[in-house]
Amino acid sequence: MFRLIAKLLLAVAAVAPLAGHAQADNTIKLGYAKCAHCTPLALTPEHATGIKLEAIGFNTGNDVLTALLSKSIDVAQVTYLHYATALDKGFDLVAISGQVNGGSQILVGNDLPLAENDWDGLKKLIAKYKAEGKPFRVAASRGNAQDIHMRGAFAKHGIDVNKDVQFINIPNPSDHVQALRRGEVELICSVDPFATQIRQVKAAKFFAFPYDQAAGKLTNLILTRPDVIAAKPKAVEETVRSIVKVNDLIGKDKPLFVATIQKITGLDQAIAAGAVDNLYPDYQMHRASAVAIGAMMRDLKYINSDVSAKIEKNMDYQFLEKVTGKPKTELGY
């Protein structure tokens, strides 16, 4: 995925100066990917006050990031990983809010003799495969949050993804279920709602939530560009206010969260409800964890440079502070 992001960013760099367009100061175009985490952003226009807020759904986070960099949209929901990758490529993007975290699950084949969270058992099983000359195949969509979560959790439990197992890249998470059904992998780290769907159709069984690592549960982040902040700071503030309102709303109203996922993705209610159990509305921006994610990505050679200083410099808490009335020290700083 990171090679794809890099190609997209290079393409954007070539056209961005030509793609700028004037907009009214009270108009914001907000892009989001159509994942379970992200769908509540479709509710933001009806909760925005004094601005014209348009929420636009994209197929992937890469598409959203490209739209932001090419100035087709003003504000973007992407992931902490996209943020680090864009900074690594030299783009000046500013984080202005969190959104929803979680959504990762590690699943294993139904026939494997593993109980939930039995990491010692997993290590023994991987060693057994190695002794028998068989690869223990683990899969994820390379470079997404679930890939990072899995690699971090493996390292935490003493499993070297590069030496102990064979990594299989399955770019589209919707293909994870068939890979498990065909017996092409022993373990997979997938994203909700696909992870919940895999469990509900019994294509695999739950093993663990991979949150015991540097990235924790962090996934989604809201970004904009410095020129947007300079041109219409009040509209950016009202956009953040709307995101915080929606977060508070879905945090209290689970049926609304479920119905929103159903409406945007077309998934049935049982899958949407299962996915919501693994999602955590959180508008805070977690600075130290974001730096840790950047360091992990560099260690994994997903980015080339140390972006720690850029991550800290480009996290702008002013809008969250105004909207919530809290100091940044209570907002993840």
What pLDDT does 214 receive? Answer: 81
- Same domain for 197 and 123: yes
What pLDDT does 236 receive? Answer: 98
- Same domain for 229 and 147: no
Taking phi over 0 as left and psi of -120 to 50 as alpha, with beta for the rest, 100 belongs to beta
- Same domain for 196 and 286: no
Number of structural domains in the chain:
2
- Same domain for 196 and 72: no
Answer yes or no: is 31 within a domain. yes
Tens-digit pLDDT profile for the chain (333 aa)? 455 555 555 555 444 444 444 455 899 999 998 788 899 999 999 999 999 999 999 888 889 999 999 999 999 999 999 999 999 999 999 999 999 999 999 999 999 999 999 999 999 999 999 999 999 999 998 878 899 899 989 999 999 998 999 999 998 888 999 999 999 999 999 988 889 999 999 999 999 999 988 889 999 999 999 999 999 999 999 999 999 999 999 999 999 999 999 998 888 899 999 999 999 999 999 999 999 999 988 988 889 999 999 999 999 999 999 999 999 999 999
Listed residues 142, 173, 208: the one ending a domain: 208
What pLDDT does 11 receive? Answer: 53
- 205-223 confidence digits (pLDDT tens): 999 999 988 889 999 999 9
Q: Where are the alpha helices (H) located in the chain, listed in sequence order?
A: 2-19, 61-69, 80-88, 119-131, 145-156, 176-181, 194-200, 226-231, 233-252, 254-265, 269-276, 287-299, 308-313, 318-324
- Same domain for 97 and 234: yes
| Residue with the two structure tokens 């003493």 | 158
Number of H-type helices and E-type strands within the chain: 14, 11
Give the C-alpha separation, 13 to 4, whole Å.
Answer: 14
- 293-319 confidence digits (pLDDT tens): 999 889 888 899 999 999 999 999 999
Answer yes or no: is 319 within a domain. yes
CB atoms within 10 A of CB 319: 24
What pLDDT does 72 receive? Answer: 97
- Same domain for 290 and 154: no
Give the C-alpha separation, 29 to 76, whole Å.
Answer: 8
Answer yes or no: is 14 within a domain. no
Give the C-alpha separation, 72 to 168, whole Å.
Answer: 34
What pLDDT does 18 receive? Answer: 41
Answer yes or no: is 19 within a domain. no
- Same domain for 236 and 308: yes
Answer yes or no: is 12 within a domain. no
- Same domain for 111 and 59: no
What pLDDT does 24 receive? Answer: 59
- Same domain for 140 and 194: yes
- Same domain for 325 and 227: yes
- Same domain for 191 and 201: yes
CATH code, domain carrying 244: 3.40.190.10
Listed residues 162, 185, 208: the one ending a domain: 208
Listed residues 179, 208, 237: the one ending a domain: 208
Domain that includes residue 190, residue range: 104-208
- Same domain for 125 and 83: no
Closest C-alpha among 209, 180, 197 to residue 267: 197
Q: For strand 166-169 and strand 137-140, is the pairing parallel, antiparallel, or unpaired?
A: parallel
Residues with Cβ within 8 Å of 105's Cβ and at least 6 positions away in sequence, in order, are: 146, 189, 190, 192, 195, 196, 199, 206, 208, 209, 210, 278
